[in-house]
């Protein structure tokens, strides 16, 4: 325990060496914030191109300013490597690797397990390991703690272990990384204390909870809440379609109530790493305990059918003018999973594009953030959003509402527009061309 007390002193003095495993949308922003706070930081990444970018003072994440990376590199506060042997020299190791789903929709913690195994091989007394990748409740305590203790070291005595879920929202300009409170749950009170201590210089507010399981559940609750309410908004959109109502008008009017209502918006489907995946982690865990997570399963069913609903609506819109999807020239605007990012993880645009191609559509897309899109055996490249491309399309569908697109120009040049994001809500001209979700 003396070595852990020494670690606390090193953290207080900003001398603790911080390691961040995985330099993606979560890991790189975290590494930069640690370095800004005065800690020496090493990022560990299998992708040599990302390592090269950091070492050359370049950022590949929209939310991380290149000037920040350059400044941190210049003063030697931030570096990156593919050599995981250097984990032995880190006092604190943060695990920020992907936790996707398998093809059968089961949790895939293989990346996380591999990272923990890399740590176990180099684990020494006086280290703090913090898992941040989303997972099901019990992963840290039931799976990874025994793996680390197989080294012969004991948690709370020789090393510390905690779970602190990532809460990053890409492209969110209102809440920056450090402004979002950091939840922390350790395996022992000392583990929690050390994890809180290391995050306090980085985040404006740190929220300790009683255990790693509680911290794991916090993250799942947050995104399950969002997924279920988005599922409700999507189901209301389907209802309004049947009733001939404008769902956007209904939602905006309901949102004027100052209490008892929180606005969630429908869309063409869920995307990103968190909302489509996290509820499934919780549902999977509860199935193992013979407890059906009925709200989660119903919301998942509704949300996952939205891309197919979008394609059916495309057929209906074209049919109004006696056109068919087969052979129609369709231009998709935006394919990233959300506005103003390049992140394609779980983007509904991929399934929409696949269904349209299967139906024989001549499909193009424009996205200022995504240069290339893989759809099954097809590879599409973003086209210029020219007046000619807009006019030539039988239908322009807005899948992702990037700010860089001039939607007034889109509507004025296009023959027909299907707006799944309500991006055209403020337009006065050309409304007769627009169809909504």
Within a domain: 222: no
Residue whose C-alpha is closest to residue 269's, from 337, 223, 315, 220: 337
SS3 at position 219: helix
Residue whose C-alpha is closest to residue 195's, from 184, 187, 205, 203: 184
Q: List 395's β-bridge partners, or say none.
A: 330
Same domain, 280 and 177: no
Residue whose C-alpha is closest to residue 220's, from 275, 269, 170: 275
pLDDT tens digits, 115-135: 999 999 999 999 999 999 999
Within a domain: 80: yes
Count how many domains the chain has.
2
Same domain, 195 and 108: yes
Q: Known catalytic residue: 96?
A: no
Taking the alpha carbons at both ends of the chain, their separation in whole angstroms is 59
Q: Is 115 exposed, middle or buried (0-12, 13-18, 19+ CB in 10 A)?
A: buried
Q: Is 307 exposed, middle or buried (0-12, 13-18, 19+ CB in 10 A)?
A: buried
Domain boundary among 210, 242, 260: 210
243 Cβ partners below 8 Å, 6+ apart? none
DSSP label at residue 328: -
Same domain, 291 and 367: yes
pLDDT, position 173: 81
Within a domain: 221: no
Please indicate whether residue 177 or residue 398 has the higher confidence score (pLDDT).
Answer: 398
Within a domain: 89: yes
Per 3-state DSSP, the chain is made up of helix, strand and coil in percentages (nearest 5) of: 40, 15, 45
Query: What angle do the packed helices 306-319 and 294-304 form, to 10 degrees?
Result: 30
Q: Is the pLDDT of residue 306 over 70?
A: yes
Same domain, 283 and 203: no
Residue whose C-alpha is closest to residue 335's, from 320, 316, 348: 348
Confidence of residue 94 (pLDDT cuts 50, 70, 90): very high
SS3 at position 333: strand
Instruction: Calculate mean pLDDT across residues 160-181.
Output: 90
CA atoms of 201 and 405, how far apart (whole Å): 38
Same domain, 101 and 235: no
Instruction: Calculate mean pLDDT across residues 374-395.
Output: 96
For residues 304 and 269, is the Cβ–Cβ distance under 8 A?
A: yes
Within a domain: 341: yes
For residues 187 and 212, is the Cβ–Cβ distance under 8 A?
A: yes
Give strand ranges (E) for 287-356: 329-333
Q: Which of these is catalytic: 90, 96, 191, 274? A: 274
- CATH of residue 163: 3.40.50.720
CA atoms of 216 and 134, how far apart (whole Å): 7
Same domain, 189 and 316: no
For residues 84 and 57, is the Cβ–Cβ distance under 8 A?
A: no
DSSP label at residue 432: G
CA atoms of 28 and 254, how far apart (whole Å): 39
Cα distances (Å, whole numbers) of residue 129 to 97, 145, 195, 280, 412: 14, 10, 9, 26, 56
For residues 414 and 390, is the Cβ–Cβ distance under 8 A?
A: yes
Q: Is the pLDDT of residue 175 over 90?
A: no
Residue with tokens 């207080």: 12
Confidence of residue 207 (pLDDT cuts 50, 70, 90): very high
pLDDT, position 1: 65
Tokens describing residue 122: 């180099």
Same domain, 202 and 65: yes
Same domain, 285 and 203: no
Instruction: Calculate mean pLDDT across residues 370-393.
Output: 95
Within a domain: 169: yes
Sequential DSSP letters for 167-204: ---TT-SSS-GGGSPEEEEESSHHHHHHHHHHHTTTSS
Same domain, 158 and 255: no
Residue with tokens 């706070």: 37
Residue whose C-alpha is closest to residue 163's, from 119, 199, 205, 129: 129
Same domain, 275 and 194: no
Same domain, 254 and 162: no
CA atoms of 362 and 65, how far apart (whole Å): 38
For residues 328 and 416, is the Cβ–Cβ distance under 8 A?
A: no
Domain boundary among 210, 235, 253: 210
Sequential DSSP letters for 250-302: HHHHHTT-SSS-------S---SSSTTTHHHHHHHHHHHTT---HHHHHHHHH
For residues 396 and 417, is the Cβ–Cβ distance under 8 A?
A: yes
Domain boundary among 165, 180, 210: 210
pLDDT tens digits, 253-276: 999 999 999 999 999 999 988 888
- Of all helices (H) and strands (E), which one includes residue 28? helix 27-36
Same domain, 277 and 402: yes
Owning domain of residue 241: 227-436
pLDDT tens digits, 326-377: 999 999 999 999 999 999 999 999 999 999 999 999 999 999 999 999 998 8
Within a domain: 220: no
Within a domain: 215: no
């Amino acid at each position: 325990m003396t070595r852990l007390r020494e670690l606390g002193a090193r953290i207080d003095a900003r001398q603790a060496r911080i390691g961040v495993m995985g330099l993606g949308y979560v890991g790189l922003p975290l590494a930069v914030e640690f370095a800004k706070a005065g800690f020496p930081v090493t990022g560990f990444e299998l992708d040599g191109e990302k390592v090269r970018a950091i070492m050359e003072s370049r950022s590949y994440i929209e939310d991380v300013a290149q000037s920040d990376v350059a400044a941190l590199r210049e003063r030697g506060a931030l570096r990156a490597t593919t050599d995981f042997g250097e984990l032995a020299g880190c006092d604190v190791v943060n695990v920020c690797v992907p936790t996707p789903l398998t093809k059968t929709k089961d949790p895939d913690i293989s990346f996380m397990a591999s990272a923990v195994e890399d740590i176990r091989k180099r684990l020494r007394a006086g280290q703090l390991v913090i898992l941040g990748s989303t997972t099901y409740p019990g992963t840290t305590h039931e799976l990874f703690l025994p793996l680390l203790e197989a080294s012969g070291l004991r948690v709370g005595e020789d090393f510390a272990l905690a779970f602190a879920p990532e809460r990053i929202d890409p492209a969110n300009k209102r809440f920056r990384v450090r402004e979002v409170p950091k939840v922390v749950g350790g395996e022992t009170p000392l583990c929690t204390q050390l994890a809180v201590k290391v995050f306090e210089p980085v985040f404006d507010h740190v929220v300790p909870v009683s255990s790693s399981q509680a911290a794991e559940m916090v993250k799942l609750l947050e995104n399950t809440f969002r997924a279920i309410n988005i599922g409700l908004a999507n189901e209301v959109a389907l209802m309004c379609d049947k009733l001939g109502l404008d769902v956007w008008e209904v939602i905006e009017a309901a949102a004027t109530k100052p209490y008892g209502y929180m606005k969630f918006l429908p869309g063409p489907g869920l995307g990103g790493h968190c909302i489509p995946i996290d509820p499934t982690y919780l549902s999977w865990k509860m199935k193992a305990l013979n407890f059906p997570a009925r709200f989660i399963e119903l919301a998942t069913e509704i949300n996952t059918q939205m891309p197919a609903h979008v394609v059916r609506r495309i057929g209906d819109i074209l049919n109004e003018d006696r056109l068919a999807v087969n052979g129609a020239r369709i231009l998709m605007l935006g394919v990233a999973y959300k506005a103003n990012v390049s992140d394609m993880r779980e983007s509904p645009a991929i399934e929409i594009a696949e269904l349209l191609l299967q139906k024989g559509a001549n499909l193009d897309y424009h996205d200022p953030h995504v240069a290339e899109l893989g759809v099954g055996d097809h590879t599409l490249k973003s086209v210029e959003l020219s007046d000619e491309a807009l006019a030539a399309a039988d239908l322009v569908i807005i899948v992702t509402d990037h700010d860089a697109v001039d939607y007034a120009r889109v509507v004025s040049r296009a023959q027909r527009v299907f707006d799944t994001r309500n991006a055209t809500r403020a337009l006065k001209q050309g409304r007769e061309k627009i169809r909504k979700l």
